[in-house]
Amino acid sequence: MSQMKKDCGYAAADLVKDSQVLGLGTGSTTLYFIEKVGMRVRDEGIEVMGVPTSFQSRLLARKWNIPLTDLSEHEIDLAVDGADEIDPDFNLIKGGGAAHTLEKIVDYSAKELVIIADESKLVDVLGAFPLPIEIIPASLNPVTKALEDMGGKVEVRMGQAKDGPVITDNGNFILDIAFGQIDNPIPMEDELNTIPGVVENGLFTEMVDKVIIGSKDGVKYL
């Protein structure tokens, strides 16, 4: 699995051109993208800047001496990000790493968005992976009720090696919602964000330009 993640992450890094501003996604796949961009900075002397989507990608970029910037300073030429599920229309579920709010801001604003993932992330219909939703902590009860009224089974994401709920990089909670099959992700993405207290949901629709899949048979460009 990690070889497939590495293959697609490295393939995406080979698309990077000198002088580009890069959106740096979060997760165990984008880790390899950032690593290879760092190697190209070191070995080829390419000059790029990164806009991190999390503390994880910020720390990785620093480790690899990739200069950082933000959306108040630069527009993003190319964002590269991972996904938890990818449907045939390139709609996504993201947020397995609780970073989807900043990821969506960065990915949406990029001139080009490339998604990298191992082949296990390709699905016919979204929804087997519970949908992550970042919420303001004080809104937990009313948001839970609203999501249950929409047919969701709601779990507060709990920390690993941390007591109590996961706290996002933005100081919020994550709810993981089992809706079952998500047949209409485009209107659902908008509808979920109308619930007061919801900061951002993990549906990413109509924004992906290219998908690079790491598979047992090598890298596939979709």
Contact pick of 8, 60, 99, 113 for ligand 5RP (by CB under 6 A): 99
Chain residues 171-190 in contact with ligand 5RP, contact rule CB under 6 A: none
Q: State which residue, 38 or 176, has the beta carbon closest to ligand 5RP.
A: 176
Q: Is 200 in the site for ligand 5RP (CB under 6 A)?
A: no
CB of 107 to ligand 5RP, least distance (A): 10
Contact pick of 6, 40, 58, 100 for ligand 5RP (by CB under 6 A): 100
Distance CA 50, CA 118 (A): 23
Distance CA 81, CA 34 (A): 10
Phi, psi of 221 (to 5 degrees): -105, 115
Q: State which residue, 7 or 103, has the beta carbon closest to ligand 5RP.
A: 103
User: In the structure encoding, which two tokens stand for residue 222, read together?
Assistant: 């979709």
Placement of tokens 């992330």 in the chain:
121
Q: State which residue, 45 or 94, has the beta carbon closest to ligand 5RP.
A: 94
- Stretch of 23-31, 33-41, 66-74, 163-171 contacting ligand 5RP, by CB under 6 A: 23-31
Q: Contact at 8 Å (CB) between 59 and 94?
A: no
Active-site residue, selected from the candidate residues 35, 44, 103, 200: 103
Establish whether 200 is a catalytic residue: no
Element housing 148 (H / E): helix 140-149
Mark 132-151 with x for binding to ligand 5RP (rule: CB under 6 A) and - for no binding. --------------------
Q: Contact at 8 Å (CB) between 113 and 107?
A: yes
Q: Is 94 in the site for ligand 5RP (CB under 6 A)?
A: yes
Distance CA 97, CA 92 (A): 14
What distances in angstroms separate CA 12 from CA 8, 106, 118, 135, one per listed residue? 6, 17, 13, 32
**Amino acid at the residue 203:** L
Chain residues 54-93 in contact with ligand 5RP, contact rule CB under 6 A: 81-84
Q: State which residue, 34 or 143, has the beta carbon closest to ligand 5RP.
A: 34
Q: State which residue, 141 or 160, has the beta carbon closest to ligand 5RP.
A: 160
Distance CA 10, CA 33 (A): 5
Positions marked catalytic = 103
Judged by the rule CB under 6 A, the positions of this chain that interact with ligand 5RP are 25-29, 81-84, 94-100, 103
